[in-house]
Amino acid sequence: MARRPAADGPASATRATGATRATGATRATGAKRASATRATDPAGPAGEAAGITVRRRRPRRDAELNRERILDAAVSVMLREGRHVPLAVIAGEAGVGVGTLYRSFADREALLHALEYRAYGLLNQILDEVSQRDIPGLGAVREFLAGTLTVGDQLILPLHGAPPLVSDRAVHARQEINRRLDRFIERGRADGSIRAAVTATDVIVFSALITQPLPHGPAWPLIAGRQLAIFVNGLAGTGPAGMPGPAVTREDIEAAFTLLGGPRSGAGEPRRVADNP
């Protein structure tokens, strides 16, 4: 059978031309539709210019505010009812749902760890303020201790009974606080205002003592203030009694925290969330 010859006459040319026109028209129509969609998209510039309101994902700032409300509430509730208060009570105090709390803090331990990191930040803020003042070393130690009294209820720390953190971040924070207090003590020895064999760890331990009110003691701010004055006055002289030793060091404190089984390096970091309901 003879093969049918290719159609390359006028009819074929017409079909080809029609197909080309159809393809071009389709593309043009698609482009117009896409352009129209962009122009009327409520989430696009034209929609914004037209005053069309669309529901967008809430910014991360909302989650951060909720997180801070939860931490503030946790401090207040734990101070009033103890560290083992139900997390639902803390969420209620913060004005958020329990689900919102769990989105930021997986459990009670995670919440306590976040409060510990926050406490280290508060202590460093106090050290920042004291460091900016041109005062003798003894005065710097006194001002640091006085500052800790003003935020004592916020200091959720291992020496206050919180579960100890031994993550890199926590260890670094404690090292920084010790280092800065050592500078105050060195300044005091250089200017003659500190004569006692005191260490930064001694100052930190004393701070932990005076920032935890006695259960039934009256007028704690007054009592704590007196103890602070006695401590600081003792630093100015050698004292009538010998100093028992050896001194407790920062390394001793870290070793004790490690033995208690705190989270290792990288653990215990508070989870960050993009947004809350």
Indicate the pTM of the whole model.
Answer: 0.68
Supply the pLDDT for residue 36: 43
Going by C-alpha positions, the residue among 234, 135, 249, 127 that lies closest to residue 188 is 135
Supply the pLDDT for residue 161: 84
Sketch the domain layout of the chain as residue ranges: 59-105, 120-259
Supply the pLDDT for residue 261: 65
Spatial distance between the Cα atoms of 207 and 186, rounded to a whole number of angstroms: 19
Mean pLDDT of the chain: 79
Residue 42 near residue 54, CB atoms below 8 Å? yes
Topology agreement, domain 59-105 and domain 120-259: no
Judged by average pLDDT, the poorest of 43-52, 79-88, 208-217, 229-238 is 43-52
Going by C-alpha positions, the residue among 95, 106, 98 that lies closest to residue 65 is 95
Residue 190 near residue 137, CB atoms below 8 Å? yes
Q: What is the CATH number of domain 59-105?
A: 1.10.10
Q: Kindly report, residue by residue over 45-102, the tens digit of the pLDDT.
A: 444 444 444 455 554 778 889 899 999 999 999 888 888 899 999 999 999 999 999 9
Q: Which residues contact 38 (CB under 8 A, 6 or more apart)?
A: 44, 46
Q: What is the CATH number of domain 120-259?
A: 1.10.357
Supply the pLDDT for residue 265: 47
Structure tokens at 122: 């508060």
Amino acid letter, residue 184: F
Residue 273 has pLDDT above 60, yes or no: no
Going by C-alpha positions, the residue among 120, 118, 123 that lies closest to residue 75 is 118
